[in-house]
Structure 1
Amino acid sequence: MIVITAPTGQIGSRLLDILLNEAPTRDEELRVIMRDPGKLHAAARARVDVVTGSHGDAEVVDRAFAGADAVFWLVPPNLRAPSLDAVYSGFTRAAAEAFKTHGVGHVVGVSALGRGTPVAGRAGLVTASLAMDDLIASTGVAYRALANPTFMDNLLRQVAPIRDHGVFTDTVTAGRKAPTAATRDIAAAAAGLLLDRSWTGTGEVPVLGPEDLSANDMARTISDVLGRPVRYERQSLDDFRAALTGRGVGNAIAEGYVDMMRAKDDGLDDGVQRTPRTASPTTFREWCEEVLKPAVLA
């Protein structure tokens, strides 16, 4: 049995679709953990076992992991948490105990690039995510952390300014090239690991996309795909922090985001070489044509 957390999120929903297609041919049972089962589409709800509740709750994961062979682990955002540790390791501690109690063999987690880089210890949310990886690995399960760069899909948060003003913002240097990945490729990487559980030990699986791009590169591609000029506008870290707190994000989490973005500009995502094993297939142009453009036109 495979247990999927956050099954209606950007990654979890795509992962669930892949597993639902593959499960009948592989004799796999699927179970999901979610607060509101009504958010799961009816076709999926009829084919999975649903455990209702938060996967940060000890009683919920105790029920969900009974009889489980593998778990997909994704920590949900908590923008008002008192600390970064509470968001990642604090949320995961109950599950870590349940992995051991129920003898879960394999866990695949969503994490981040950066381990081993000079800035890994001062990268805010990423530093906390890497500590969560260490906590899971310490339980003795076979663990693979999906080491991800910035998601292409984060641009969906800026559909309105792209459509209405021809602009998107970030805090990184305009000409700095870095990897970026589509969430559908992250889901596919997770599915491959969950379905083929021949791997052992602990480690990372980078998902780097097919090429490094700068914000200026992205602006040119978006402009070309949309057929209208779109430019990149760099936001200062101070303005970024103010925008977060203005939306109600707690101080600890806002600082975590600021530290992460500063670290990205200092090379956080540069530590892994792209190879056929670490590259993922979706190009930024493909993603813009298939995901961003329909969202803008809608």
Structure 2
Amino acid sequence: MKIAFNEATTLHNSTLKQDLELCEKHGYDYIEVRLDKLKEYLTEHTTDDLKAFFDNSHLKPYAFNALEFITFRDEAGYQQIKDDLQFLCEVGDVVNCKKVVVVPTFDIGDYTRSQIKEETVSVLRELADLAEPYGVKLAFEFVGYPTCSVHSFGDAYEIVTETNRENIGVVLDCFHFHAMKSSIKDLKKADPNKIFIFHIDDCEDLPPGALRDHHRVWPGEGAIDLDVILSTLKEIGYSEMVSIELFRPEYWEWDADRTIRVGKETTEKAVSKYFAVDQRV
């Protein structure tokens, strides 16, 4: 299994340029490039500079993260989503990054589950049409907050299945899976080819509905049953990649080199119980 780094883990203590250099130093295979860090990078660099880095490194781009709150938008907000997707597709065409994470909207009011499904399927299909000419796939990420319109793996997978598009899949994030008690039975029934991205993390031992991103901790240091998730992935035949993604303010206060190193070490330790990993460093 290939090891990736999600830039949220160094959201406030590093830049894309520094993340690239440190991920290469510590032997990561992939990086998930954040949209905000990418835009900041491009104020002083070009997409050709980014391409040159990847062309001369072991590290490769795996996905852009993320287009947030894609559903139930007003006209201007939805146009911004489409503009950002176009931008990422064009950058991805240069640097060979062919996945984009997309996230549903929170606090939408009194929509029924069927209305949420209908809206989300419709939006995903339209965005898929925009991405398809570039060969870009969209990874739909449910969020394990009670206020998110799609907050379980089962609902997200059902929506992705309903879209019936080759370039639409799901993000499986251990934190979000645990936070609202997604069913392991749903994961056991999933097609591994529809899991486009796998995020690993752990969290403090709070009850369902109370967990938030700042409660995340390094894999193996919290309350999530990672063994069940990892063994189930092995059982269904998923072995593509795993990406460390945390939003813990404590870790943002560390030196970025330490954050990226510990992310690699804890991810490898958790995953290597079930999958072969290339320990380059």
Which bracket does the TM-score occupy, shorter chain normalised? 0.3 to 0.5
Q: Higher Cα Rg: structure 1 or 2?
A: 1
TM-score, normalisation: structure 1: 0.36
State TM-score, norm by structure 2: 0.38
Task: Identify the structure with bigger relative contact order (alpha carbons < 8 Å, sequence gap 6+).
Answer: 2
